[in-house]
Structure 1
Amino acid sequence: MKQKYMFWQTSGWVLSLLLVFPILAIFYTAMGESDEVFSHLMSTVMGTYTANTFWLVTGTVVLALAFGLPAAWIMAMCRIPGEKILQWALVLPLAMPGYIIGYIYTDWFDYAGPIQIFLRDFFGWQSTHDYWFPDIRSLGGACLILALVLYPYIYLLARTAFMEQSVTLLQSARLLRCSPWESFRRISLPLARPSIAVAISLVAMETLGDFGTVSYFALNTLTTAVYDTWLGYSNLNAAAKISAIMLLVIFLLISAERFSRRKQKLFQQQSEHGDDVRYQLSGRKKWLAIVWCWGLVGFAFAFPLTQLTYYAWHYFSQSWTAEFQQYSLNSLFVSLVAALFAVVLALIVNFYRRLDGHKYSVVPTRMASLGYAVPGTVLAIGVMIPLTSADHLLNDVARFLDLGRPGLVFSGTMFAIIFAFVVRFAAVAIGSIESSLAKIPPSLDMASKTMGYASTAMLRRVHLPLIRRGCLIAGLLVFIESMKELNAALLLRPFNFETLATYVFNFASDEQLELAALPAILLVFVGLIPLVMVNRSLEQKH
């Protein structure tokens, strides 16, 4: 019986090893001898890079908690006007790339922006010596921008945790005359701590991997250090060492999150259908809650989108160019191919796990999912190391066989971007297909074997029709994430090749936000698709 599954076993392990190989390549390269560039960075600016990264992550997490936790508790535990709209509107900022909001708010709040111009005209101020205004292009400004984009992680997970808490506990708190604040502090918040810890780790990892925002704000972090070391100094070894440091930081974040809840076991009875123990807010509290929630939606999504729409409308003729259409097709192609390969890989590793049933059969799925925790800039280094070696080997073999020099077949073509996207987002496809396969009863597998179906026929005629929706969702999610990915695309794109994300970044970096508005809106609306799906799933569960 084991021989029948040899294809799935071999394929699952080989594919998962290919996906984890870039991560291993980073550590292998980093263990080499230090060169002058890395030694110079360590003795001069690495301390500043590390400190900036620490304070950026800390500030963003604190602000994201301050934004997301109150909104989550209000939506889960209170009744306010317009709550059905707010439930999904508060998730919308997740579709807005952080660097786009950073460009817009810098344009508004800079010295030459409309806000400061209005203040100077209104109060008669002549120069910066006459008044003080916070500098948006600073560490604090970057924390604020990233928190506006990333607080939905806190909101989503905390709101779900609040909604799943026991009705009995909440009713008991009311019988004991606990105020809403005491109920939140003494019951809701401790019970939701595991979900909040997961959300904090997600915000921290997203902040650690951000490049577009910190680059525009001229902040030197570990991510910009990787970018500058590779492209500025052309030193892959030093970039790999910095990347290894970032991977260790991410490992510590994940380990700390799991360690913090290692002994927590929460057994709660979820709210029954029809039970509504939410607080009815009135007066000043009601208006404060409304202003808080709608203010988050406005500042993090509605106002920036309005500005982008204004620019796109007035500069449509300059934006709708052959380059924009070509780069849109580029993004469409690489994202579709990456989604296709990610779905096929997810099917193989998940189906092998279902067929084998051995405790080690889960290893390929976990190995193939590791790339999702790796920032795009770091992953680009890991992808480039083995692909460059593969190109050298291919050219050496071709020269030995007198076949000429093929050139950079792997590292200098779209293959590098597609491979990076598959490594980065395969976990999304694996998770979606894994949940779909788990809903198929094992009795169908037994019936298929009784009817004489081989494993391939079983997958084609039994499982695929049943998990078709899960496969479509998996492919859609990988496609959308690939369309939005900036960091890996910036470092791995071939010459004269742009995606929509790099196209927007280049225009905005050159202070031409008007021409970047149309492709930015396209990226935003593409990013809204998974958010709608997530919100619909939450509504179905509750």
Structure 2
Amino acid sequence: MPRRRVTGTRGLKILSFLIAMICLLPIVAVALAAVTGGLDSVLHLWSTVLPRYTLTTLVLVTLVAAGTFSIGVGTAWLVTMTRFPGVRVLEVLLVLPLAFPAYVLAYAYTFVLDHPGIVQSTLRQVTGWGPRDYWFPEVRSIGGAAVMFVLVLYPYVYLLARAAFLQQSSGALLAARTLGDSAWAAFRRVSLPMARPAIAAGVLLTVMETIADFGTVSYFGVQTFATGLYTSWFSFADRAGAAQLALCLLVFALMLAVFERAQRGEARFHQAGKRSMRMPAADLTGGRAAAAAVFCAIPVLCGFILPCVILLSMGIGSEQDLLGRRYQGFVRNSLTLAGTAALITVGAAIVVGFYQRLAPGRNSAGAAYVARLGYAVPGGVIAVGLLVPFAAFDNALDAWMRETFDVSTGLLITGSIWLLVAAYMVRFLAAALGAYEGGQATVHVNMDAAARSLGQTPLGALRRVHLPILTPSLLTGLLIVFVDVMKELPATLILRPFNFDTLAVQAYRLASDERLEGAAVPSLVIVAVGLLPVILICRQVGRHK
């Protein structure tokens, strides 16, 4: 039976395709710029920096994947399957490090652990050693960067692994135990394979966040594709080289995204029935309880509590005036960008998601798939991919206007905040679309039919039926995009208009000048804003048992 065509979707189709084209533009532009850059740039990159960038990125990704897997899965298993003193508090607190951008954590720990920091200074005072009389781990290293990423990204793995463990039935675990397996063997042979798709998705998400980061690796002097892209673009003015590095980074990120999609697509979850119950939690006592509590408390202590204390002490001793006119400008710029980008991104998610609901098929599914590609593309790649074509358009338009009317138009698009907002939309549309689709799943199809039978157009049904029901999901999507834009650094550094700085840019600039006490002030504001969605997640963690 042919599917009945819903009328009134032409406008949604055009808007959805336009949004998908904007999301696809950076990828196509980077690929074309890299291909047309010539072999000279490729050979130069290969003979100088490309092997180092590749090796460093792979090492960093491997360390972060191993660390987030160990901490995320281990803590999720302990708070789900065991009981020890403080477990109910720790299962919520383990989410808190998600509020910290990795580069903010790097500023805090560098202030404490670097050579002039309080730890090494105290060590030298107590022992009487000189600067070369002892060995101390170097925080500004690839290992230090990996630790920063692990501390702020493990909650992704923790949340997904915890949800997977909560959904597991006791039948398989009890069968393993009756067959003689120990608790560790049952976990390794039964629970871990059942939760593998969720854990793999979480680990791959942390890896993609790692390769997209610029602030942490740049501050620590770790040479990755992200730092190489920025250096080629600004320091060396090598547009072709930057585009080719962006293409390498893009290919790596898209390969990870495809792998993550394949993992998710192969996942199959089978409920054992309504009578099936979760495995009863094992009560830990004595040394085991203490070890479990310490293991779960260390990530919270190192990833949230200590950095907050350090940043507060740094901020109090700085000369940065958060209430001054200059900082009011940083706050205003950040809020303007974040608010505008959040509204436009959620609006785009509504258009794409509602079109897919009204007209399911290849066209709508393809538009939604392309719209989600941005989550796998680092911010620096998106910035280069948008800047190249729009800068060419601006220059061509300016040349034509000069020749025809003797009038200079200047940079109409690349000199405004709208290109930056477009980059944010491309980068974070997948998060907004996920929030919208999660809420849309609760709207029964019969509601659409009832609205149409009462004479409502598709847009009328969206306005009067869908949006009131989806308000909580849309607010969640707005909040997530708002906070992500506040923390985003690479695209902001590349695309921001002249003399239009944000809190993230100010923190990065002060840290680059080794003024870490000053960098603590904007960093604290960013963390405070980042706590908003984390609090919402914590409430859900506390309720979902």
Query: What TM-score, normalized to structure 1?
Result: 0.94
Task: Verify the 8 A CA contact 1:164 1:270 in the aligned structure 2.
Answer: no
Letter in structure 1 aligned against 2:364: S
Q: Output the amino acid matched with 1:67.
A: I
Match of 1:4 among 2, 8, 18: 8
1:445 maps to which residue? 448
- The structure 1 residue matched to 2:327, chosen from 324, 327, 338, is 324
Match for 2:50 among 39, 46, 65? 46
1:30–1:241 contact (8 Å) kept in structure 2 = yes
Of 172, 175, 184, the residue aligned with 1:181 is 184
> What fraction of aligned residue pairs are identical, expressed as a percent?
37
- Aligned-pair distance for 1:360? 2.9
Q: Taking structure 1 as reference, are residues 416 and 292 closer, same or farther at Cα in structure 2, changes over 3 Å only? A: same
Aligned length: 541
**Corresponding residue number in structure 2 for 1:430:** 433
Q: Is 1:64–2:68 an aligned residue pair?
A: yes
Label 1:461 to 1:154 Cα distance change in 2 as closer, same or farther (>3 A). Answer: closer
Aligned to 1:242: 245
Give the drift of 1:170. 2.6
- Cα distance, 1:275 vs structure 2: 5.4
Taking the aligned partners of 1:2 and 1:446, their CA distance within structure 2 comes to 11
State the alpha-carbon separation in 2 of the partners of residues 177 and 521 from structure 1. 52
Q: Using a 3 Å threshold, how does the CA distance of structure 1 residues 78 and 350 change in structure 2: closer, same or farther?
A: same
Alignment of structure 1 residues 84-95 onto 2, 5 Å: 84-95=88-99
Which of 12, 25, 29 pairs up with 1:25? Answer: 29
Aligned to 2:353: 350
Does the CA-based 8 Å contact 1:388-1:411 persist in structure 2?
A: yes
Between the aligned partners of 1:124 and 1:212, the Cα distance in structure 2 is 35
In structure 2, give the amino acid aligned to 1:238.
G
Match for residue 382 of structure 1 among 381, 385, 394: 385
* Equivalence for 1:537: 540
Distance across 2 between alignment mates of 1:386 and 1:119: 54
Shift of 1:261: 6.9
| Cα deviations by residue, 1:296-345 (Å, 9 ceiling, x for unpaired) | 11111100110111222343664442211101000100111111111221
Partner Cα distance (1:261, 1:447) in 2: 34
Compute the RMSD of aligned alpha carbons.
2.1
1:34–1:238: 8 Å Cα contact kept in structure 2? no
Please tell me whether residue 487 in structure 1 is matched to residue 502 in structure 2.
no
Offset of residue 438 of structure 1: 2.2
Distance in 2, Cα, partners of 1:405 & 1:517: 42
Specify whether residues 461 and 164 from structure 1 end up closer, same or farther in structure 2 by C-alpha distance, changes over 3 A only: same
Q: State how far apart, in whole Å, the 2-side matches of 1:66 and 1:411 are.
A: 43
8 A Cα contact 1:312 1:319, kept in partner: no
**Residue 3 (structure 1) shift:** 5.4
Q: Secondary structure at the match of 1:467?
A: helix
User: Which residue, out of 281, 298, 305, partners 2:284?
Assistant: 281
- Cα distance in structure 2, aligned partners of 1:74 and 1:508: 37
Q: Distance in 2 between matches of 1:262 and 1:446?
A: 31
| Shift in alpha-carbon separation, 1:178–1:33, aligned structure 2, 3 A | same
Q: Structure 1 regions of 5+ residues with no counterpart?
A: none
**Inter-partner Cα distance in structure 1 for 2:100 and 2:329:** 23
* 8 Å CA contact 1:78, 1:280 repeated in 2: yes
Change (3 A) 1:257 1:455: closer
Unaligned runs of 5+ in 2: none
Report the alpha carbon displacement of residue 59 of structure 1 after superposing the two structures with TM.
1.2
Structure 1 position 499, deviation (Å): 0.8
Q: Mean alpha-carbon deviation: is it higher for 218-227 or for 318-327?
A: 318-327
Q: Is the 8 A contact 1:170 1:277 kept in 2?
A: no
CA drift of 1:205 comes to 0.8
Report the equivalent of 2:194: 191
Structure-2 separation of matches of 1:53 and 1:179: 38
What amino acid does structure 2 have at the position aligned with 1:88?
A: V
Which amino acid letter does the alignment assign opposite residue 515 of structure 2?
Q
Whether 1:76 aligns to 2:80 is yes
- Counterpart Cα distance in 1 of 2:79 and 2:208: 26
Is 1:364 equivalent to 2:367 in the alignment?
yes
**Take 2:189 and 2:308, find their aligned partners in 1: how far apart are those partners?**
38
Q: Deviation of residue 403 (structure 1)?
A: 6.8
1:256 aligned partner: 259
Deviates more, 1:396-405 or 1:15-24: 396-405
Out of 163, 187, 196, which is 1:160 matched to?
Answer: 163
Partners of 1:165 and 1:178 in 2: CA distance:
18
Of residues 430, 442, 457, the one that matches 1:454 is: 457
Counterpart residue type for residue 213 of structure 1: T
> 1:518 Cα shift?
2.1
Per-residue deviation, residues 162-200 of structure 1 (Å, max 9, x unmatched)? 111112223334444533222221221111111111111
Which of the numbers 194, 213, 223 marks the counterpart of 1:220?
A: 223
Q: In the aligned structure 1, how far is the partner of 2:426 from the partner of 2:148?
A: 28
Bigger mean CA deviation after superposition, 237-246 or 449-458: 449-458
CA contact (8 A) 2:140 2:220 kept: yes
Contact residue 320 and residue 518 of structure 2 kept, 8 A: no
Match for residue 463 of structure 1 among 462, 466, 475: 466
Contact kept in structure 2, 1:171 and 1:277, CA below 8 Å: no
